Structure 1
Amino acid sequence: MNEPVSYKRHRFPPEVIAHTVWLYFRFPLSLRLVEEMLLERGVVVSYETVRRWAIRFGLEYVQRIKRKRPSRHDTWHFDEVVVSIAGEKHWLWRAVDQDGYVLDEIVQARRDTKAAKRLLKRLLKKQGCPPRRIITDKLGSYAAAWRQIMPRVEHRSHKGLNNRAENSHLPLRKRERVMQGFRSPGGLQRFVSVFTAVHNLFVPFRSRRCALATHLHRLCAMAEWRTAAGVAA
């Protein structure tokens, strides 16, 4: 069981810190915009303080957020997207399930079979059980990795079937433009680890998007966020 988040040696109340981290990862806001929004509410902090809080507390919060339970009936969709970091190409490999829930993502320097195998192995370890089916685009690296890692799982390779994984990149692409890119592969990996967990928590599954269900989902998500951060409602 995770220990409560420690706010020792921080002069601001935990509620302010938790709200700041939520603003930064939940919405496409720059550090300076978060600073301005806090100032409007009478909280005077620098954008550097916002950045430090995001790094210091972001991962601690998401480690306390409940993950969706895996099932052998799940379908995993895979895709990879290029991200330019300091003028060099890197690839963000991502897996999502049939509901659009991001299962895992990993930043890698290559787009080959070794990289695909690494994602599949990591995902199997994290989920604890294989899916019913995997869906990928026509990239041959997926087929090669599938034959070595999970040959008994049904594999469908078709670009038209993989829109769910491709669309999952859009929130990060929007954020990338606001942040004007990422400085390092490690920085990108740390950011997406929190950003994706927050997105998973607050964005309802595709099957639950009527107005009332969305409203209730967000209320529950906010309550879970406060619990993870260890702050009062």
Structure 2
Amino acid sequence: MTRLARDPLYRRHRFTAAVIAYAVWLYFRFPLSLRMVEDMLAARGVIVSHQTVRLWAEKFGRHFANDIHKRSAGRLGDIWHLDEVVITIAGKKNWLWRAVDQHGFVLDVLAQSRRNAKAAKRLMRKLLKGQRRSPCVMITDKLRSYGAAKREIMPGVEYRSHMGLNNPAENSHQPIRRRERIMKRFKPVQQLQRFVSIHDPIANLFQIPRHDISSANHRELRGAAMQMWSEIAHLQVA
């Protein structure tokens, strides 16, 4: 029997690419704790510790998220919704700044300790660098820091400040809120930034609309997402 060559990405790992990629997919695709993923793997006969799952999530999740981000750069929507939400860590308020497009795909996230114009500028600069273009329209809530930052960073972009128009950004915080409860709060702010910067690109890949499309189209889109995941995770052997 011919033994398949091991992909360099998984070299020196005891478990196969399929097992590792499945664990990473479970952890970032669903609101599961590390111990929940450990139990789900054990039910399939794969005995690993939750610490191992954490290491896989950080190493391989980062690789997968970076690949997804490269593939989507410059291809997402041109209407940017910006919003921020408070995340309490060790009794101290931190702010998770987020930008999504008009379809709800996350453009970028940035955890910061401040909620002011300087913090808004950092997010906008990060967005321009990552998306490689300016938006046609920027929409935010009533926080004045956005307007001040936008005038300096993107003066020519159309700007709307309206609570009712910013639902895509506000709704995009919900998965992180659910994960925050599962994890019994994030610990250091660096952990929050690491998690969301991996979680959100993977969530983008599997974001499939459930309204206004047929069941057949939904299955096709889900199949395409899983096919791309297989490519990103190097699960296909030539």
- Pick one of 38, 47, 53 that aligns with 2:41: 38
Paired residues of 2:210 and 2:218 also in contact (CA < 8 A): no
SS in structure 2 at match of 1:64: helix
| 1:161-180 alignment runs, 5 A limit | 161-180=165-184
Q: Judge conservation of contact 1:85–1:181 (CA < 8 Å) in 2.
A: yes
Q: Give, in whole Å, the separation in 1 of the partners of 2:95 and 2:155.
A: 24
Distance 1:42 1:68, change over 3 A: same
- Name whichever of 67-76 and 31-40 sits farther off: 67-76
d(CA) in 2 for partners of 1:206 and 1:148? 39
TM-score (normalised: structure 1): 0.93
Q: State the partner residue of 2:138.
A: 134
Q: Which of 28, 46, 53 lines up with 2:31 in the alignment?
A: 28
Alignment deviations for residues 123-159 of structure 1 (CA, whole Å, 9 cap, x no partner): 1111111111000000000010011111111100010
Checking the alignment, whether the CA contact within 8 Å between 1:101 and 1:205 is kept in structure 2 is: no
Q: Which amino acid aligns with 1:34?
A: V
CA distance in 2, matches of 1:208, 1:73: 19
Q: Which residue number corresponds to residue 13 of structure 1?
A: 16
Question: Once the two structures are superposed, what CA deviation does each residue of 1:141-195 show, in whole Å capped at 9, x if it has no partner?
Answer: 0010011111111100010111111001011111111111111111111111111
State the secondary structure of the residue aligned to 2:96: strand
Instruction: Determine the C-alpha separation between the residues in 2 that align with 1:172 and 1:213.
Output: 28
In structure 2, relative to structure 1, the CA distance for the partners of 1:163 and 1:180 (3 Å cut) is same
Equivalent residue, structure 2, for 1:122: 126
User: Is 1:113–1:144's contact at 8 Å kept on the other side of the alignment?
Assistant: yes
Mark the runs of 5 or more structure 1 residues left unpaired by the alignment.
none
Measured in 1, the distance between the counterparts of 2:71 and 2:213 equals 20
Contact 1:182 1:188 in 2 (8 A): yes
- How far apart are the structure 2 equivalents of 1:36 and 1:68? 33
Paired letter, 1:12: F
Residue 201 of structure 1 aligns with an amino acid whose one-letter code is L
Residue 220 of structure 1 corresponds to which residue in structure 2?
224
**Greater than 6 Å deviation, 4+ residue runs:** none
- Output the amino acid matched with 1:214: H
Unmatched segments (≥5 aa) in structure 2: 1-6
Partner of 2:186 in structure 1? 182
User: What does residue 68 of structure 1 align with?
Assistant: 72
Task: Output the CA distance in 2 between the equivalents of 1:208 and 1:118.
Answer: 37
Note if contact 1:91-1:109 (Cα within 8 Å) is conserved in structure 2: yes
RMSD of equivalent CA atoms = 1.8
One-letter code of the match for 1:140? R
The separation in 1 between residues aligned to 2:220 and 2:182, in whole angstroms, is 29
State the partner residue of 2:95.
Answer: 91
Q: Percent identity?
A: 54
> Which residue of structure 1 aligns with residue 198 of structure 2?
194
The 8 Å contact of residues 73 and 132 in structure 1, kept in 2 or not, is answered as no
TM-superposed CA distance for 1:69, in Å, is 4.9
1:63 is aligned with what amino acid? N
Question: C-alpha separation between the residues in 2 aligned to 1:208 and 1:191?
Answer: 31
Given that 1:95 and 1:105 are in contact with CA atoms closer than 8 Å, whether structure 2 keeps it comes out as yes
